[in-house]
Amino acid sequence: MCYTQNRFNALLSACVMSLIATAGWSQSLTWLGTLGGVQSRAYGVSASGSVVVGCAENAAEQERAFRWTASGGMQDLGTLGADYSEASAVSANGAVVVGWAANAAGQERAFRWQNGVMQNLGTLGGGGSWAFGVSADGAVVVGVAYNAAGQMRAFRWTASGGMQDLGTLGGGRSAAYGVSADGAVVVGGATNAAGRFHAFRWTASGGMQDLGTLGGNLSEAYAVSANGAVVVGWAANAAGQWHAFRWQNGVMQALGTLGGTWSEAYGASADGSVVVGWALNAAGQWRAFRWTASGGMEDLNITYASLLTNGSRLVEARAISPDGRYIVGRGYNAATNRTEAFLLDTIPEPTSLMALGAGLAGLVGLRRRKR
């Protein structure tokens, strides 16, 4: 019996290690290139990780919104009549892209792109607008627009209702950057009656809620979990340093840094358990991070060092897929000597996990037969 059990344990360990090693091969880092220019940045990723959006230079050194897929590469989404554009976010299925683009008059306008058509979302009566977030189905868009009085205001757009001014916290300015999966919760930053910019969480029933700070005077929210419960961004502490935060149930938690004095959070998984952004390390260098309650803030350059060629680095993480698997942002690709958008696949393929399960099931069956 002891011999059989020991043999089983040995076989089990060997199988697990072998399958984990095989699964590990599927972890990957993909540099997305450019549109012919010298740099690109990724700002959004679809739920499946198959679509990435952002901004890239073309051969004429014009910045253009892009939509990338593994099969089609980097697609230039065009403009609204001028030379430049930028994509900020993508719907869960990858079909709808939002951002901003210049029109023929050189004015910047929020856009919603779908099926090859870039739609101008207009303004709140003023001179410019920019879209930064989109709901899971692509039906709700949030961002910033000028009103007729020349004030920047957070907006929420729908096809039926157009562009809605979400107001402020008592001051004159606001900006919306993120929206929940169902489009019901909007987050961003707004000035209060004292003129200080604070992170907010907005709902139709509750209006704009001030999320406070970490002891300083300023804060700003960049993203919200799919269910609208967790908000992430940056806030000033009592020493005036900007630190990434995670807010839930009225509590703003500082996520720390990588040894430096500064950090900002840009994205959260569907349940808010995984947060990504950038932070300064002890040497004062920008580094992409991932945070979890169990692991704290980790430098992605260290965790995935085996995927980086000598000299390459991940500078900032801008978005994460709902399941926490895919992370996108910008980094330095030493092979091309360029700042480039990246797509990081952090976990094994499902086929590898299935193989692991099948292997374990087989060994369990072996143990039972030996009995």
Q: What is d(CA 278, CA 283) in angstroms, rounded to the nearest whole number?
A: 14
Select the more confidently predicted residue: 32 or 18: 32
Mean pLDDT of the chain: 90
Return the sign of the alpha-carbon dihedral for residues 334, 335, 338, 342.
negative
Clarify whether residues 203 and 334 are in a common domain.
yes
Q: For position 208, which CATH number holds?
A: 2.130.10.10
With a cut of 60, say whether residue 173 has pLDDT above it.
Answer: yes
185 closest CA partner among 169, 213, 208: 208
Q: What is the arithmetic mean of pLDDT over 93-119?
A: 97
Coil, helix or strand for 68? strand
Clarify whether residues 149 and 266 are in a common domain.
yes
Return the sign of the alpha-carbon dihedral for residues 144, 149, 151, 155.
negative
pLDDT score at 354: 38
Clarify whether residues 270 and 371 are in a common domain.
no
Q: What is the arithmetic mean of pLDDT over 19-34?
A: 72
Clarify whether residues 211 and 328 are in a common domain.
yes
Clarify whether residues 11 and 53 are in a common domain.
no
With a cut of 60, say whether residue 148 has pLDDT above it.
Answer: yes
Clarify whether residues 178 and 223 are in a common domain.
yes
pLDDT score at 26: 74
Q: What is the arithmetic mean of pLDDT over 178-187?
A: 98
Q: What is the arithmetic mean of pLDDT over 201-228?
A: 98
Clarify whether residues 67 and 89 are in a common domain.
yes
Integer-rounded Cα Rg, in Å, for the chain is: 23
**Domain tally, the chain:** 2
**Domain with 362 in it:** 1-26+351-371
With a cut of 60, say whether residue 9 has pLDDT above it.
Answer: no
Question: Which run of H or of E encompasses 248?
Answer: strand 242-248
Distance between the two ends of the chain, CA-based, in angstroms? 8
Clarify whether residues 300 and 162 are in a common domain.
yes
CB-based contact 111:100 (threshold 8 Å):
yes
HSE of 37 in the Cβ direction (CA atoms, 13 Å)? 20
Residue 252 lies in a domain: no
With a cut of 90, say whether residue 369 has pLDDT above it.
Answer: no
With a cut of 90, say whether residue 371 has pLDDT above it.
Answer: no
pLDDT score at 315: 98
Q: Which residues touch 349 (CB under 8 Å, ≥6 apart)?
A: 23, 26
pLDDT digits (tens, 9 = 90+) for 321-356: 999 999 999 999 999 999 999 999 998 544 334 333
Q: What is d(CA 268, CA 319) in angstroms, rounded to the nearest whole number?
A: 7
Q: What is d(CA 40, CA 278) in angstroms, rounded to the nearest whole number?
A: 17
pLDDT score at 348: 56
Q: Report the percent of the chain where pLDDT is more than 70.
A: 87
Clarify whether residues 19 and 31 are in a common domain.
no
pLDDT digits (tens, 9 = 90+) for 252-271: 999 999 999 999 999 999 99
For residues 306-325, b (16+ Cβ closer than 10 Å) or e, as one string? ebbeeebbbbbbbbbbbebb
Q: Report the percent of the chain where pLDDT is more than 90.
A: 86
Altogether, the residues listed in the chain come to a count of 371
Return the sign of the alpha-carbon dihedral for residues 24, 26, 27, 28.
positive
Residue 319 lies in a domain: yes
pLDDT score at 41: 98
With a cut of 70, say whether residue 12 has pLDDT above it.
Answer: no
155 closest CA partner among 127, 133, 181: 133
The H helix count followed by the E strand count for the chain is: 3, 28
